[in-house]
Structure 1
Amino acid sequence: MKANTTSQKIAANLEQAFAASGFAEQGVDALRDASGVSLRTLYKYYPSRQKMVMAALEYRHQRYLQDIFTPPDATSEQSLSEILEAVSQWMQHNAPTGCLFHSAVAAYPNDEEILHMLQAHKHEVIERLVAVCKMPQAAGELAIIHEGLTQAWPTHKEQALAGAKRLAKLLCE
């Protein structure tokens, strides 16, 4: 996903900053530096820390969907195994310490908007998995496989992928 506008560029930079350093450690000066704009410009687009977090999560959401799922108009179909491979590559390169959405909720446990963003992100991911796999009856199982892989990745890495693939194979049989 390419950031085209100033607000998207800021959101992309904030996403990277939060992914690298978490949500609690960075003050406004660090976020300004990470965003690559002046403090005035940062606050023009995102007038609060909560808005900065939301922008970063929305940008992350769109990037995740684009990186994991083949575009709907593509000529080739994706298998569940290919999607799990893509998720493991995503985790390795973009989220080695775990899901940024879960980290945001952990950092801001009383923020309903951030919680809603987590829920919306996970819901759309599962909708895409169901559509790709053509298994509407298995939405819960697909959610568990996906979440299991993303949550187990920080400690189990390739073993998490192998386990997710075994479960996916059993589900598809």
Structure 2
Amino acid sequence: MDSAIARERALDAAEELFYARGIQAVGMDAIRTASGVSLKRLYQLFPNKERLIDAYLERRDLRWRAQLAERVDQETTPRRRILAVYAWLYDWFREPGFRGCAWINGYGELGATSPAVAERARAHKQAFKDYLTDLTTAAGLPEATAEQLRLLAEGAMATAGIMHDPESARHAERAAALLITADTQVDTDTRRIT
């Protein structure tokens, strides 16, 4: 089996198992069985489980952000582009097997003991905040709005993961709409809501 194919199979299996069961509950033997990649080959590709976890979180991050951007890019106005973030979250929360945010979950499991997992989670969350900052800047909103929108989204992610309720995205979307409306009424000279 070609190295690239073996790597993808291993990552596919790791993603499915880590996300469904939790990172600590899944050993390399389970990845081997699910992927069909021999244990020897698995360790050639990923010398330790931490490297596999890091590759899993990195690949998921790239795909997650691309899917979000694809949905947001369908909208033409700055306000609708921001609110599309929450519409996308709603669709994500409704996917079969949704178990919350992989980075929050990973950080909760290993953040205190794995600097690599903690850094990967922070990088993902920073990239999401940067994306929201770009959206709010394009909408002419105050810089602080991006952080407020991020907190609404993060709260929705945590709630949906724990409560298995995709409606948390709809609640966050309504709050975001109110926030955007209030922030568009900010007087740019005084930065006070008029």
Query: TM range, normalised to the smaller chain?
Result: 0.7 to 0.9
CA-to-partner distance for each residue in 1:84-106, whole Å, 9 max, x for gaps?
A: 11112223327622111122122
- Matched position secondary structure for 2:70: coil
Percent same amino acid at aligned positions?
23
Does the aligned pair in 2 maintain the 1:15–1:59 contact within 8 Å? no
Structure 1 position 163 matched with structure 2 position 171: yes
2:59 alignment partner in structure 1: 59
1:100 paired to 2:102: yes
What is the DSSP-based 3-state SS (H/G/I as helix, E as strand, rest coil) of the residue aligned with 1:26? coil
Bigger relative contact order (CA 8 A; separation at least 6)? 1
With normalisation by structure 2, the TM-score equals 0.77
Which residue pairs with 1:117 in the alignment?
Answer: 120
Aligned equivalent of 1:81: 83
Cα deviation for residue 82 of structure 1 reads 1.6
Q: Structure 2: give runs of 5+ residues left out of the alignment.
A: 182-194
Whether the 8 Å contact between 2:71 and 2:84 is mirrored in structure 1 is no
Q: TM-score, normalised by structure 1?
A: 0.85
Instruction: Show the counterpart of 2:191.
Output: none
Q: Which has the higher mean CA deviation after the structures are superposed, 152-161 or 124-133?
A: 152-161
Q: What is the CA–CA distance in structure 2 between the aligned matches of 1:156 and 1:75, rounded to whole Å?
A: 27
Question: Mind listing any 5+ residue stretches in structure 1 that lack a counterpart?
Answer: none
Give matches, 1:1-173, under 5 Å. Answer: 5-6=4-5, 7-70=7-70, 76-77=75-76, 79-93=81-95, 96-108=98-110, 109-134=112-137, 135=141, 136-154=143-161, 155=163, 157-173=165-181
Q: Does the aligned pair in 1 maintain the 2:93–2:166 contact within 8 Å?
A: no
CA distance in 2, matches of 1:168, 1:158: 16
Instruction: Return the index of the structure with the highest Cα Rg.
Output: 2
Corresponding letter in the other structure for 2:4: T
Taking structure 1 as reference, are residues 150 and 13 closer, same or farther at Cα in structure 2, changes over 3 Å only? Answer: same
**1:161–1:142 Cα change, 3 Å:** same
Poorly superposed stretches of 4+, deviation over 3 Å: 74-78
Give the deviation of 1:156 after TM superposition: 5.6
